[in-house]
């Protein structure tokens, strides 16, 4: 049971975030009003996504150093989980943008940067599918994964701060924390950051185990075919 405590913690945190985030009173701020509740879901999705991308990149670096194919598998699954949270971030962001700015996808440097970054990682999956040789696929994918992360972070964290942006804390706009100093917001959003990140780790762990099982079954089938051929000869 001691190996599963963090999974129980994930369930408890997320249950608290969803229940408290929907029913607890929130500050009545201009424009945002009840839409501020999205702060409990939208930013945590992006935090979890960036955490998964960082871990994916670290495993790609580890693969290039050690050549262990299992590290490539873990890097791939962290990237898969990151894209899942990226999609959830886009959906929650579009809903929030519609109520706050009147547009599902405003022409904003940060939203456009996210779109470009997501395309970069979709290209990563396409690149992987173009190689049959396992080691070559892993090596080239690892290099690309590191490159994609190095481009993605400036796209969503640096460039929006250098130009006009609707997002708080960018383009001369005051940071969002100037508006969410209410303790009721902090009491939910901070656990949400932890809960969503732990959920990402949990999803990735399950996907890695499934991928390893698929590889094991494929290897077993190949061995069985080889033995059948040898016996027939």
Digit-coded pLDDT (tens) for 24-65: 877 776 666 677 788 889 889 999 999 999 999 999 999 999
CB 13 within 8 A of CB 198: yes
Q: What's residue 38's pLDDT?
A: 81
Digit-coded pLDDT (tens) for 94-122: 888 887 777 787 777 778 888 888 899 99
Which of 7-21, 117-131, 178-192, 218-232 is predicted with the least confidence, judged by mean pLDDT? 218-232
Cα–Cα distance for residue pair 215/218, rounded to 1 Å: 5
231 belongs to a structural domain:
no
What's 40's domain CATH number?
A: 1.20.120
Cα–Cα distance for residue pair 210/216, rounded to 1 Å: 10
53 belongs to a structural domain:
yes
Q: What's residue 27's pLDDT?
A: 72
Task: Count how many domains the chain has.
Answer: 1
Cα–Cα distance for residue pair 233/47, rounded to 1 Å: 58
Cα–Cα distance for residue pair 55/201, rounded to 1 Å: 10
Q: Where in the sequence is the domain holding 12, given as residue range(s)?
A: 8-25+35-221
226 belongs to a structural domain:
no
Q: What's residue 207's pLDDT?
A: 94
Q: What's residue 176's pLDDT?
A: 52
173 against 126, higher pLDDT:
126
pTM of the model: 0.84
Q: What's residue 172's pLDDT?
A: 44
Q: What's residue 131's pLDDT?
A: 86
């Amino acid at each position: 049971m001691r190996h599963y405590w963090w999974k129980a913690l994930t369930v408890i945190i997320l249950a608290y975030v969803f229940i408290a985030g929907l029913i607890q009173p929130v500050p009545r701020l201009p424009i945002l009003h009840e839409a501020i509740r999205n702060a409990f879901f939208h930013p945590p999705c992006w935090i979890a996504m960036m955490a998964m991308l960082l871990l994916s990149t670290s495993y790609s670096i580890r693969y290039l150093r050690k050549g262990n194919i299992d590290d490539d598998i873990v890097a791939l699954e962290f990237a898969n989980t990151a894209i899942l949270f990226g999609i959830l971030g886009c959906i929650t962001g579009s809903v929030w943008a519609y109520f706050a700015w009147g547009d599902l996808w405003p022409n904003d440097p940060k939203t456009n940067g996210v779109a470009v970054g997501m395309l970069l990682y979709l290209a990563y999956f396409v690149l992987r599918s173009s190689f049959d040789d396992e080691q070559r696929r892993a090596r080239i994918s690892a290099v690309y994964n590191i490159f994609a992360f190095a481009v993605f972070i400036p796209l969503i964290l640096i460039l929006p701060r250098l130009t006009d942006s609707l997002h708080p804390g960018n383009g001369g706009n005051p940071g969002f924390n100037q508006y969410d100093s209410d303790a009721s917001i902090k009491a939910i959003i901070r656990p949400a950051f932890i809960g969503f990140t732990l959920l990402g780790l949990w999803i990735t762990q399950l996907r890695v185990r499934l991928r390893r099982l698929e590889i094991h079954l494929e290897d077993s089938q190949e061995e069985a075919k080889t033995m059948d051929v040898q016996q027939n000869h």
